[in-house]
Chains A and B, each alone.
Chain A
């Protein structure tokens, strides 16, 4: 298949790339752009490890073809907070022990970020719903939910 040119903004930086139009977006982010914070898990949109924001909405980047990210505004885990100052959601995840092996964490934080942007004081059910597309095999979710609650307080 012939490569196509795509333009995209990732964490406020512009990129012009020549890619296979059906290359999974996560591979573009990790390999072509070099941002490896977004994790690749199941590759089928079922585990949520590869979640990032595409035009403000959480999506699983492993099942998005690169072509459909043309002209898109993308935010990955690297675009939330900075190396010097963690985002309040990241702080809360650390403080509450919501990170164990850490593989689901970038996706969990992106899903939580999308929730808290829409709803600054979510109920527990709303938190559970917002992270229902993100699997965690370590924590049992309790600490993640506590962390999102704590983050919502920090951000209010």
Chain B
């Protein structure tokens, strides 16, 4: 294993392709893998924590978040609070104060867990993920449990969130064994625009109920242009169970996950017309 502290993104390019590369930012996931001997002996560990990728800035109707921005910084940011409340809700629910002071948004994305709490919000806000190679839509980024499009040595640089025009509400719900420090059993992000109880736009993404975060396309299609009433809510609550593919594991059961996602959808739709 080799440890290299990098001062610029360029230094990362100079690697041998057959050595697995790990990037060290907040280290909250890495150190646990390291302690459990999950890091291959021939790995190169790039400490990127001092790269200038810690910022939140407004740029041509987009908010751009540097990959090294911590969840504490995200949770406290006024611009993000104004435009992306579901991301704030997710960021402030992650781990504990201690974890949020270290864990970065780039790490949450790069780790590629279907239970990564920031990811459903990134899906509904149409986020783009910019790496050292190219720019991906959040929805195209995740390929399986802890699998992403990232190639060995490809680094996430920043996340772009387009500022929405028009009146939108957004919500994030999650369920875990306890409020702090529990990996989510299930989570749902919802972005919705409603006029006279008619849904004019809706985006839904669910976490920890599939091999990646799941975009709920069927439910979105069903709900578009419908008037929110008890019947529509009830039908949508059934349809969303078809969008997701939860399993029973040590954290929760398939049935619980289906039911809680369905309940969160109801909460979101009711809140939207309140």
A contact set with B: CB distance below 8 Å: 1-2, 4, 21-22, 24, 43-46, 48, 51, 54, 57-60, 62-65, 67-68, 111, 114, 129-130, 132-134
Contacts and interface: CB of A to CB of B under 8 A. Distances in A.
A58 B97 contact: yes
A133 B180 contact: yes
Contacts of B98: 45, 48, 51, 58-60, 111, 133
A68 B97 contact: no
B117 to A, nearest CB: 15
Interface stretch (B26-34, B125-133, B155-163, B252-260): B26-34
Given A1-B3, A22-B45, A58-B101, A132 B32 contact: no
Nearest to B102: A59
Nearest to A132: B180
Given A45-B28, A68-B24, A68-B27, A133 B3 contact: no
A132 B3 contact: no
B234 interface: no
B1 A64 contact: no
B31 A57 contact: no
Interface string B1-45: 111010000000000000000001001101110110000000001
Q: What range describes how many residues of B lie at the interface?
A: 20 to 34
Given A58-B101, A68-B49, A22 B34 contact: yes
B47 interface: yes
Interface in B158-178: none
21 contacts: A1-B2, A4-B3, A22-B34, A45-B96, A45-B181, A48-B96, A48-B98, A51-B98, A54-B101, A57-B72, A57-B101, A58-B98, A58-B101, A59-B102, A62-B31, A63-B28, A65-B27, A68-B24, A130-B97, A133-B99, A134-B96
Nearest to A111: B97
Nearest to B180: A132
Contacts of B97: 58, 111, 114, 129-130, 132-133
Given A1-B3, A48-B96, A58-B97, A65 B180 contact: no
B179 interface: yes
Nearest to A47: B181
Contact of A67 (B47, B102, B179): B47
B210 interface: no
Contacts of A62: 31
B95 interface: yes
A67 B3 contact: yes
B3 A21 contact: yes
Nearest to A1: B1
Contacts of B99: 45, 60, 133
Contacts of A129: 97
A132 to B, nearest CB: 4
A2 B32 CA distance: 20
A134 to B, nearest CB: 8
A63 B31 contact: yes
A55 B61 CA distance: 34
A22 B27 CA distance: 10
A57 B180 CA distance: 18
Contacts of A67: 3, 5, 24, 47
A63 B27 contact: yes
